[in-house]
Structure 1
């Protein structure tokens, strides 16, 4: 599959994706990519966030590819049960936060727990860092196994955001291209 053949829905996490974040950059570079906007990036409400993702999937005119980061991964996985069958063809999930076990997460983020454990109905990659402050690598491995996702070890990459040095993140874009090629 090529990017021109699909609608790419980019789903940021808490606080959205600032201009230098790889998701914002990808949204501006991928002709069929767009960010799924939330009403409030700083006070996430699970039903509202999931609802926005479902609306975006339902509005798509081509097969959908999800690209989610952080809390956007959690909201995406929770929204899957409401997607029209067969619409989403694949997902690139990056830096899953462990909303169940990570200490000191704000209550507004913990409200997304528990994370679903059912296998996903489409192929997916879960990119995880060994030094992500919001998810132990072993927990990312566990969720990838539950979901049937291919786990991609990003090494010591922090939360794979601007703060961890991942502005444009060309390695991620290459990973996306390889993933799409195999769909």
Structure 2
């Protein structure tokens, strides 16, 4: 019994990836796989890394799912204590985008430790990443609501029901 518990703990410890390792793993995944994980994951660090990777690829939404759907609510809410003074030498202006800054922040100890002072308000979102998420999330929520409310269910000649997609095709699983 004791050996089983120890073996379980060792396996569990090995399966937990560090943030830099997880970031590398997500970099190697296809965009569709990342969107699938974005929809299903509940781990905050993984969600943050998935969203930054998608944003770095220019992806903000897909099939009613969008970055910031789960994480945008943290924007400007102090969730983490921040001590005055930083030990690192990176600034927001050192990064080409807010997504790049957030990815660096997460892989270097954030959001619990902000070694470089990238998250001054303690919301867990570095630089302008929170504002970006909020903008994408508000656009995504509007688009998804308006698309869903405009969809109409049609009845085909044999009695089957369908909706019409944006490209004009019939979607028989949509009603």
Larger Rg: 2
Compare the two structures and name the one with the higher strand fraction. Answer: 1
Task: Return the TM-score normalized by structure 2.
Answer: 0.29
Compare the two structures and name the one with the higher helix fraction. Answer: 2
